[in-house]
Structure 1
């Protein structure tokens, strides 16, 4: 009797340790990627909320300045305002234009006293 004629097959049951470890590595890597994406999305949401509030504060201050009817000075004027439970630092100034009857009005808003502006609006006002 030849050996090649009698080949028996053994059925494999379960997974080897190497296969289990590889599956765990793939699962852990994909879990880290999902957590990083969720963390970045949360950071962006907070930034967009702050930027939106800063734009609202700038718009409100711009309307107040227009209603006062006086042109602010050509140097920066700093103020602190409370809005949505936070302190906002507003600064504004007028800028000369080519026409005496118009001036540009710049308004900047930041969440920190010495921080960079989250919102910036420029508009033009007439005498």
Structure 2
């Protein structure tokens, strides 16, 4: 009488490894998407705060801002940002249209071109 030993066959082990590999790949893709989504939302939030702060600075000035365009670099959070402010004329002489564009430097290197993240427009009136 021969006794047969119990256990998994080679095919069963290969199928189990295939299923595990598919699940691991799917989990890695989901976690990668989660991380990039988190970074995108974080950048959008910080850029929106920077743009709102710049517009509020202009609203708190004693005089109506002149028509101009300027950029400044600033460190905020863990990144370096470029805040570009465009002040445009309107049909109403006592009002200005303000457009603030916030761009993020990718690798903390100010020589690289920053990537635009957020733009905010507002109107500022004479105090």
Whether the TM-score (by the shorter chain) exceeds 0.5 is: yes
Task: Give the alignment's Cα RMSD to 1 decimal.
Answer: 2.2
Relative contact order (alpha carbons < 8 A, sep ≥ 6): 1 or 2 greater? 2
Between the aligned partners of 1:71 and 1:93, the Cα distance in structure 2 is 14
Q: Count residues with an aligned counterpart.
A: 118
Between the aligned partners of 1:122 and 1:106, the Cα distance in structure 2 is 4
Task: Give matches, 1:1-127, under 5 Å.
Answer: 13-112=6-105, 114-127=113-126
Which is strand-richer, 1 or 2? 2
Relative to the length of structure 1, the TM-score reads: 0.79
Between the aligned partners of 2:38 and 2:104, the Cα distance in structure 1 is 16
Q: Choose 1 or 2 for highest CA Rg.
A: 1
Relative to the length of structure 2, the TM-score reads: 0.79
Q: Is the 8 A contact 1:58 1:90 kept in 2?
A: yes
Q: Is the 8 A contact 1:72 1:93 kept in 2?
A: no
Deviating beyond 6 angstroms after TM superposition, the runs of 4 or more aligned structure 1 residues are none
What is the CA distance between 1:18 and its match in structure 2? 0.9
Structure 1: any 5+ residue segments left out of the alignment?
1-10
Q: Is the 8 A contact 2:74 2:82 kept in 1?
A: yes
